[in-house]
Amino acid sequence: PNNNNMSRRVLPGEIITSWVSVGEYKDILLDKSTEGIARVAINRPEKRNAFRPQTISELCDAFIRIREDPKIGVVLFTGVGPSKDGKFAFCSGGDQAIRGSGGYLGDDGIPRLNVLDLQRIIRSLPKVVIALVPGFAIGGGHVLHLICDLSLAADNAIFGQTGPKVGSFDAGFGSSYLARVVGQKKAREIWFLCRKYGAKEALDMGLINAISPINLLESEGVKWAREILQNSPTAIKCLKFSFNADTDGLAGIQELAGQATHLFYTTDESKEGRNAFMEKRDPDFSESKWLP
């Protein structure tokens, strides 16, 4: 379907699905398409899409909305661009201008590191999240692409951590999970030297899935999404939580087990337990077999 007039532009290039704007946000854009794809974009291009607490609160809200919408199966997560000086960014991490003592300060003056909440929401979202990286993915912005299920980068993308240079570090997913993705030696190099890496280097180290010209990045994301949407939602959810369980300890097992419980609720065996309780009788599981 094509409805370019209705669609809001986030990245340059052909729009190949009809986006409908959802929600009233200040720092982000949320759009949905009728074919099961959502698009979330950080909209602070003049700051290379750095996030402040409000940005993160809005992103959490958008991802929770998406979680509750059974029609959406894939999310494209990106950054609006170009900025006035013609550059692109996925996200350049925490907004250093409002970094106070103990976290990032919002209008309420309370210091927060609420990006950690967002990381967990994206990880446990029972849908596929694809990062579209149109330029810089730096610092906490690099961690955000890292924790997405898949990453597609424009050929101008630049990746890196800056923490040890700017007085911060992410000792959670940002380092341990990075080491799972690119290996211990490379992860230590990325954090200890704070170098920047181009798209080809990122592809070679297994940090991203594919590279596109910037003008094709969004349409490439839609194509990947369409392919995923042809497949079984339950299989993909369980696989995502299995991949998570390998790294996330009991929290990961909880997610995977939750899907098993969800499936069990659909069986006659489970329904018999509920029906017996409601009918104030003993349950009769004799129809359920102890299958191998």
- Annotated binding site for substrate: which residue ranges? 48, 92-96, 104, 136-140, 162, 168, 265, 280
Binding string to ligand S0N for residues 169 to 198, with x set by CB under 6 A, is what?
Answer: -x----------------------------
Q: How far is the CB of 8 from ligand S0N (least distance, A)?
A: 23
Q: How many residues form the binding site for ligand S0N (CB under 6 A)?
A: 22
Interacting residue with ligand S0N among 58, 95, 149, 220 (CB under 6 A): 95
What is the total residue count of the chain?
Answer: 292
Between strands 136-138 and 89-91, the pairing is parallel
Near ligand S0N by CB under 6 A, which window of 44-52, 126-134, 180-188, 271-279?
Answer: 44-52
For the chain, where are the E strands, in sequence order?
A: 19-21, 28-33, 37-42, 74-79, 89-91, 99-100, 103-105, 111-112, 128-133, 136-138, 150-154, 158-160, 197-198, 210-212
Q: How far is the CB of 106 from ligand S0N (least distance, A)?
A: 13
Annotated binding site: 48, 92-96, 104, 136-140, 161-163, 168, 265, 280
Residue at token pair 């959802």: 22
Binding string to ligand S0N for residues 135 to 174, with x set by CB under 6 A, is what?
Answer: -x-xxx---------------------xx--x-x-x----
Distance, CA of 19 to CA of 221 (rounded, Å): 14
Distance, CA of 135 to CA of 115 (rounded, Å): 20
Q: In what order do the strands lie in the sheet with 136-138?
A: 89-91, 136-138, 158-160, 197-198
Q: Is 50 in the site for ligand S0N (CB under 6 A)?
A: yes
Near ligand S0N by CB under 6 A, which window of 1-9, 134-142, 229-237, 276-284?
Answer: 134-142
Judge contact between 65 and 29, C-beta under 8 A: no
Q: Is 55 in the site for ligand S0N (CB under 6 A)?
A: no
